[in-house]
Structure 1
Amino acid sequence: MNSDTPQHESITETENPSADTAQRLEALESRLAYQEHWLDSLDAAVAQQERRLMQLERLSNAMQTRLQELRASHGDLQGDMPGPEDELPPHY
């Protein structure tokens, strides 16, 4: 029986590392799936912010163009009038 006992212990020892390895592998797969989900979420958020930034840049360019047109047409009517950037704030 002594010869059977060490053999039984070695079987138990090989089963434990296998079960431990399976648990560790399952935990790693779970973490990987969670990280992939968050990576996809972050990618979507960055893409949405990029679209919004491009939209705001187009809007800013359109507003700058319109402001220049208004200044040009206003300047033609009343001469060289100072713009809002030339005005001092009210606290001066």
Structure 2
Amino acid sequence: MNGNTQRSDSTMANEGTLDRLEKRLEALESRIAYQEDWLDTLDQAVAGQERRLTQLERLSELLQLRLREQRQLLQAQGDGPGEGDYRLEDEIPPHY
């Protein structure tokens, strides 16, 4: 009888361990699914920011071009600053 009892106790212990492992596995799978969803959300946000940054860079280039054209027109008309007043730092923002 003791032999059967030991097997029974051993089987119950294994079942308890198996139940705990299954619960841990389910918890881990749930966390991974949540993290994958969150990663997809972040990826979409970064892609959107990259598109917006590209648009803003292009807009900045166009505005700089327009500003140069306007400065040249004013200088050609004689209404703008003379050549001696021109400074490169006026053309390039200080953070570059």
Using the size of structure 1 for normalisation, the TM-score is 0.84
After TM superposition, the runs of 4+ consecutive aligned structure 1 residues lying more than 6 A away are none
Report the AA paired with residue 47 of structure 2. Answer: A
Unaligned runs of 5+ in 2: 91-96
Mapping 1:1-92, distance limit 5 Å: 1-78=1-78, 81=81, 82=85, 85=90
Unaligned runs of 5+ in 1: 86-92
Aligned residues: 85
Using the size of structure 2 for normalisation, the TM-score is 0.81
In the TM superposition, residue 4 of structure 1 has moved relative to its aligned partner by 1.9
Q: Which one has more relative contact order, counting CA pairs under 8 Å at least 6 apart?
A: 2
In the TM superposition, residue 7 of structure 1 has moved relative to its aligned partner by 1.0
**Alpha-carbon distance in structure 2 between the residues aligned to 1:78 and 1:3:** 110
In the TM superposition, residue 79 of structure 1 has moved relative to its aligned partner by 5.7
